[in-house]
Amino acid sequence: MPAVLIPEHAGSVESKQSLVIVISATFLALSALAVLLRIYTRIYILELPGSDDWLIVVALFLALGTSIEAVLELHWGMGLHVWLVTEEMVRQQMRALYASVLNYNLASNVVKMSFLLQYRRIFASSSPTADRVCRWLFSFVLFWAVLQAVLLGICCIPITAFVPSMTGKCLDTLPVWYFSSVLNIAIDFLIFAVPLPCVYGMTMHSNQKMMIFSVFCLGFFTCIISVIRLSYLPKATNQDDPSWNNVDLSVWSIVELNCGILCASLQTLRPLVCRFIPSFASSASANGERVCRRLPEVRETVQHQSSPSLSHLEGGRIEIIKCPFTQVPPGRKWKEADGRRLNVRQ
């Protein structure tokens, strides 16, 4: 550890540890609630769970692991000034930090993959271009996740040199972290932009279209948090007071992960809201959502879509209504018939 200039007020015990605990617990609880509601919606209301749902569950557990590792860092002195931390505490803290960075990278990429699979389920049949872009981005994110793990593995040789006082050589971490963070933000922007042209091309009332736009744009809020996190990278790599300086980056990493999980889950909850707040569905219909009109008793759906489009059978003519947020109307349920999923009135 480098020599530290101890200020005159070093006798005071200043701490940021409670801040980390409160923020971590709050955002983890919110994301866990959102994921539980999402799984309930997909399994019990739509009866259409998919791989994107299970990936977001994996991401939630990885986010939990990141929070646990942050608590371990707190146990070993993160959130305290360096003059209050022993050499052994610093070594243990850096081990927990290494595990946290590895977990954060993996969780971030799993959230990205969940978004992409979700968009494929919604737009695969209506937009081959969006489906193709999602497949390309998914392959790149998978490659990037592996590359990040490799880069983290070779950042110090031997790997134990990541811990201060251990012999070995390490790369300058700031450029590596900058490159990783900037590329993550760029990938996020591309992912969250994928559904926007599809929504723009939908034929519906402008108010309805704006509502759907706003739901899909929730993901860009995560990008804003990522940019804020990026601004704390130089401070986190400052070795003058590492146990104190690393707190802000740790907090924003936890917030970013959980907000990504929240945004991915909130986009799937409209059927749940319509189930328990029927007026919400009525309001949507009044703004131009024609799928709630009284039409024949059976409507065909596309099985592989997360929120199926409905076909109106009217006078022998089939009209496809492309709406990624269609809910199951009250008094109906999904049934299998002739190899298709049918929405049948009870």
Q: What is the pLDDT of residues 59-79, one digit of tens each?
A: 999 999 999 999 999 999 999
**Do both 56 and 124 map to the same domain?**
yes
In a domain, 284, yes or no: no
Is the pLDDT confidence value at 236 over 70? yes
In a domain, 139, yes or no: yes
pLDDT at 4: 47
Confidence of residue 116 (pLDDT cuts 50, 70, 90): very high
pLDDT at 11: 52
pLDDT at 288: 41
In a domain, 256, yes or no: yes
Rounded average pLDDT over 208-236: 88
| Least confident window among 110-124, 136-150, 194-208 | 194-208
pLDDT at 52: 94
Q: Domain ends where: 268, 286, 321?
A: 268
Q: Which residue has the higher pLDDT, 225 or 315?
A: 225
Q: What is the CATH number of the domain that holds 236?
A: 1.20.1070
In a domain, 27, yes or no: yes
In a domain, 154, yes or no: yes
Could you write out the DSSP letters of every residue in 272-294? HHHHH-HHHHHHHHHTT-GGGS-
In a domain, 8, yes or no: no
**Do both 196 and 239 map to the same domain?**
yes
**Do both 203 and 109 map to the same domain?**
yes
For residues 183 and 118, give the distance between their C-alpha atoms in angstroms, rounded to a whole number. Answer: 22
Is the pLDDT confidence value at 204 over 50? yes
What is the Cα 123 distance to its own chain's centre?
19
* Cα angle value 121/27/153 (rounded, 5°): 75
Bridge partners (DSSP) of residue 317 are 314
Is the pLDDT confidence value at 287 over 70? no
332-337 and 340-345 strand pairing: antiparallel
pLDDT digits (tens, 9 = 90+) for 25-61: 999 999 999 999 999 999 999 888 999 999 999 999 9
**Do both 61 and 158 map to the same domain?**
yes
**Do both 240 and 341 map to the same domain?**
no
**Among all chains, which residue has been given the structure tokens 């970013």?**
256
Query: How many domains in the chain?
Result: 2
For residues 217 and 196, give the distance between their C-alpha atoms in angstroms, rounded to a whole number. Answer: 8
Could you write out the DSSP letters of every residue in 150-166? HHHHHSEESGGGGSTTS
**Do both 229 and 129 map to the same domain?**
yes
Give me the half-sphere count of Cα atoms (radius 13 Å) on the Cβ side of residue 181.
Answer: 25
For residues 212 and 161, give the distance between their C-alpha atoms in angstroms, rounded to a whole number. Answer: 49
Q: What percent of the chain has pLDDT over 90?
A: 43
| Least confident window among 10-24, 112-126, 157-171, 190-204 | 157-171
**Do both 73 and 186 map to the same domain?**
yes
**Do both 131 and 43 map to the same domain?**
yes
Instruction: Please check whether residue 62 is in contact with residue 110, taking contact to mean a CB–CB distance below 8 angstroms.
Output: yes
Region for 288 from its dihedrals, namely left if φ exceeds 0, alpha if ψ lies in -120 to 50, beta otherwise: left
pLDDT at 12: 55
* Residue 69 domain boundaries: 15-268
**Among all chains, which residue has been given the structure tokens 């994107």?**
52
| Least confident window among 13-22, 163-172, 247-256 | 163-172
In a domain, 283, yes or no: no
**Do both 304 and 230 map to the same domain?**
no
pLDDT at 320: 38
Long-range contacts of 173-177 (CB under 8 A, 24+ apart): 173/237, 174/233, 174/234, 174/237, 176/151, 177/233, 177/237
For residues 302 and 199, give the distance between their C-alpha atoms in angstroms, rounded to a whole number. Answer: 18
pLDDT at 225: 95
Residues 6+ apart with CB under 8 A from 69: 96, 97, 99, 100, 103
In a domain, 1, yes or no: no
| pTM (predicted TM-score) | 0.78
What average pLDDT does the structure give for the chain?
78
**Do both 48 and 121 map to the same domain?**
yes
Q: Is the peptide bond before 158 cis (omega within 30 degrees of 0)?
A: yes
298-301 and 310-314 strand pairing: antiparallel
**Do both 118 and 229 map to the same domain?**
yes
Provide the H-helix boundaries in 6-86: 17-40, 51-75
